[in-house]
Amino acid sequence: MSPDELKQKVAEAAFIYLEQLLHANWVLGIGTGSTVNCFIDCLAQSSQTFVGAVSSSVQTTDRLNAHNINVIDINDVSEVMVYIDGADEVDSTFALTKGGGGALTREKIVASLANKFVCIVDESKLVNCLGAFPVPVEVLPLASHPVATQIGKLGGHPKLRSGLTDNGNCVLDVSGLEIDDPDYWERTINDIPGVVTTGIFSLHRPQEIFVARADGSIDHKVRS
Rule CB under 6 A: is residue 33 a binding residue for ligand 5RP? yes
Residue 92 CB, nearest distance to ligand 5RP (Å)?
19
Interaction with ligand 5RP in 75-104: which residues (CB under 6 A)?
85-88, 98-104
Cβ-contact 162, 113 below 8 angstroms: no
Question: Which distant-in-sequence residues (6+ apart) come within 8 Å of 75 by Cβ?
Answer: none
Residue 49 CB, nearest distance to ligand 5RP (Å)?
26
Q: Which is nearer to ligand 5RP, 149 or 214 (CB)?
A: 214
Q: Mapping DSSP to helix (H, G, I), strand (E, B) and coil, where does residue 40 land?
A: helix
Q: Which of 12, 107, 138, 186 is catalytic?
A: 107
Position among 32, 105, 197, 198 found at the interface with ligand 5RP (CB under 6 A): 32
Position among 35, 60, 105, 150 found at the interface with ligand 5RP (CB under 6 A): 35
Residue 84 CB, nearest distance to ligand 5RP (Å)?
10
Rule CB under 6 A: is residue 206 a binding residue for ligand 5RP? no
Q: Which 8-state DSSP code applies to residue 194?
A: T
The tally of CA atoms less than 13 A away on the side-chain side of residue 96 is 26
Cβ-contact 82, 118 below 8 angstroms: yes
Residue 55 CB, nearest distance to ligand 5RP (Å)?
12
Rule CB under 6 A: is residue 173 a binding residue for ligand 5RP? no
Distance between CA atoms of 207 and 221, rounded to whole angstroms?
8
Rule CB under 6 A: is residue 169 a binding residue for ligand 5RP? no
Say whether 123 is catalytic.
no
Distance between CA atoms of 148 and 50, rounded to whole angstroms?
43
Residue-wise burial string across 70-102, b where 16 or more C-beta atoms lie within 10 A, e elsewhere? ebbeeeebeebbbbbbbbbbbbeebbbbbbbbb
Residue-wise burial string across 151-174, b where 16 or more C-beta atoms lie within 10 A, e elsewhere? beeeebebeebeeebbeebbbbbb
Among 22, 18, 63, 24, which Cα is nearest to 44's?
A: 63
Q: Which is nearer to ligand 5RP, 12 or 88 (CB)?
A: 88
Q: Which is nearer to ligand 5RP, 145 or 220 (CB)?
A: 220
Q: How many binding residues for ligand 5RP (CB under 6 A)?
A: 17
Residue 51 CB, nearest distance to ligand 5RP (Å)?
23
* Chain positions contacting ligand 5RP, by CB under 6 A: 31-35, 85-88, 98-104, 107
Which positions are annotated as active-site residues? 107
